Amino acid sequence: MDDFQSSFSSRNMEEGHELSPLALNQGLFGIVAAGALKVFRYVKDDQFAILDILVEGDFFHYGFPDAPGVRMFVYPDQIQAMTTSCLLYMDSTKLQELLRRDADLSSTYLDSMTGKLNQLHERFIHLGSYAADHKLAYLLEFLHSKGPGKADYPDLIPFNITRKDLASLAGLTLETASRILASFERSGLIRSGRGWVEILDYPGLSKLCRTEEL
Amino acid sequence: MDDFQSSFSSRNMEEGHELSPLALNQGLFGIVAAGALKVFRYVKDDQFAILDILVEGDFFHYGFPDAPGVRMFVYPDQIQAMTTSCLLYMDSTKLQELLRRDADLSSTYLDSMTGKLNQLHERFIHLGSYAADHKLAYLLEFLHSKGPGKADYPDLIPFNITRKDLASLAGLTLETASRILASFERSGLIRSGRGWVEILDYPGLSKLCRTEEL
DNA sequence: CGGGCTATTGAGGATTATCAACTGGTGTGG
DNA sequence: CCACACCAGTTGATAATCCTCAATAGCCCG
């Protein structure tokens, strides 16, 4: 595992640093060391689609398809005392070498990929063809499950997340997201403010995004 | 590569054979040898969500989360002369061993995973928050790009795909999908019938699912 | 021939997007 | 320190999209 650590090239990105210019050959593999990263793509003018949110310990793969343009963006985690996100990365040839040598890493990697794909499939189900309140309820659970949580606020989604971010992840508009979060708040399911959401009634939220009844 | 082939357990599934009973420990890795597979999950009664369609040569990973129930299903490819799909699979410990020994496989595997994840991200963008006609146009291109195509009908989506399947993949209802395909047909973009779609005007279809204008 | 499946079409209604105006918090710079 | 711009969020009216429900037609199969 020491081998694993030392084989990554690591750097503290300055705020707003774009990952694209770093383009490595073939594909990119990485692990997030601290904070949170928004993975997004511009789709029009200032509009963007958020693909995923990576948090501490997340593995990820990223390729560089023919289409140019900014694809990934690092932003400061503003909740955790303004610490800057840190990204460890390596190119895929290096990873390949490591996987061959390190059985532990290899095993962890396979589990991680399996989990990632299952997670994406779940997201397709819940964000695919349900009503807006179902989507948001699922999304809040999803995001909450990603973080380690802060000790004093265990049910606070542990990174900065705006209405616009939530809307983008769920495939809704900012206004709809706002209205639905307001109704969640009236029902006592959550508390929220500028850039943060805290879950108060986990079971109640879960009930809103069940896929099958018993 | 001979090592690679012989290490897979292969079998010709009978029609409608379910994969779940095969449950191996941890995760499942596989490659589709012939035909097409629908990967879906039941969400309610007889309703299902199609997660992906695997075609010949596709790699896939599949895990078995705590929740029980059918998750993957093998069905006969009804276009290609009623041949039955063939699935090669192995459990993750075996895969791990192979990846360590076989550099070619390891490289192919990493590229495949990178491609898969990128593909899923693209799907999130296009199926996330656009209009129904955009979604379907993208989906048709996506499905068409998956298959090798039949020699005499190169622009026919090379496997059985119903309106209900398309609707499920795009997160629409069967009726909406039908109406939009009818409008595509009136515009001369496609031809279609029971269980098949042929693309006539590829550029025209592409124009409907562009994410950014120049 | 009848039953089941795939697909089509229509009418009506519910949900959500769009457009717009407005509030209050945050950071900046004079 | 205050004025200012900007950003995140709220709320309302209206319109468009898509879903739901329903009826029907054609195809495939036993």
Kindly report the average pLDDT of chain A as a whole number.
75
Q: Which of A59-63, A131-135, A190-194 has the lowest mean pLDDT?
A: A59-63
Could A125 and B49 be called an inter-chain contact, meaning their C-beta atoms sit closer than 8 Å? yes
User: Is residue B203 helix, strand or coil?
Assistant: helix
User: What count of other Cβ atoms lies within 10 Å of the Cβ of residue A123?
Assistant: 19
What mean pLDDT comes out for the span A56-76? 61
Lowest model confidence (mean pLDDT) among A81-85, B124-128, B129-133, B204-208: A81-85
| Residue B11 neighbours by CB under 8 Å, 6+ apart | B86, B87
B208: which 2 tokens? 């409907």
Which secondary-structure segment (H or E) carries A115? helix A103-128
* Nucleotide at minimal C1' distance from the A173 CA: C17
Say yes or no for a CB contact (<8 Å) between B125 and A51: yes
Let me know: does A14 contact A73? Beta carbons within 8 Å: no
Say yes or no: Cβ of B194 under 7 A from any atom of strand D: yes
What is the arithmetic mean of pLDDT over A35-40?
A: 74
Q: Kindly report, residue by residue over A94-108, the tens digit of the pLDDT.
A: 778 877 787 877 888
Residues of B with Cβ-Cβ distance to A116 under 8 angstroms = 117
Which residues of chain B neighbour A72 with C-beta distances below 8 Å? none
| pLDDT value of position B206 | 92
Q: What is the pLDDT of residues B158-197, one digit of tens each?
A: 778 889 999 999 999 999 999 999 999 999 999 998 888 9
Buried b (16+ CB within 10 A) or exposed e, A29-54: bbbbebbbbbbbbebeeeebbbbbbb
pLDDT of residue B24: 53
Residue nearest to nucleotide C8 (CA to C1'): B178
pTM of the model: 0.85
Q: Which of A44, A129, A211 sits opposite B211 (nearest CB)?
A: A44
Chain A residue with Cα closest to B100 = A100
Give the Cα-Cα-Cα angle A174, A165, A49 (nearest 5 degrees): 95
What 3-state class would DSSP assign to A116?
A: helix
Any idea which residue has 């879960």 for tokens?
A206
Give yes or no for residue B14 having a pLDDT over 70: no
Q: CB count, 10 Å around CB of B198?
A: 15
What are the structure tokens assigned to B54, written together? 């695997």
Nearest to B61 by CA among B72, B50, B76: B72
> Are the C-beta atoms of B58 and B159 separated by less than 8 Å?
no
Within 8 A of A42 by CB-CB distance, chain B residues are: 212
Please report the number of interchain residue pairs, chain A to chain B, with beta-carbon separation below 8 angstroms. 122
| B160-to-A129, B81, B188, B189, B214 alpha-carbon distances in Å | 22, 11, 21, 19, 36
- The amino acid at B146: K
Lowest mean pLDDT among A2-6, B3-7, B121-125: A2-6
Q: List, in order, residues 6 or more apart from A104 with CB less than 8 Å away.
A: A1, A4
Yes or no: say if A196 and A79 are a contact pair by the CB < 8 Å rule. Answer: yes
Give tens-digit pLDDT for B136-164. Answer: 999 999 998 886 666 667 788 877 888 99
CA angle B202, B208, B214 (to 5 degrees): 100
Tell me which residue in B51, B52, B113 faces A61 most closely, judged by beta carbons. B113
Q: For A26, which of B62, B101, B111 is closest by C-beta distance?
A: B111
Residue contact B211–A96, C-beta within 8 A? no
User: Which nucleotides along chain C are within 7 A of a protein C-beta?
Assistant: 6-11, 15-20, 25-26
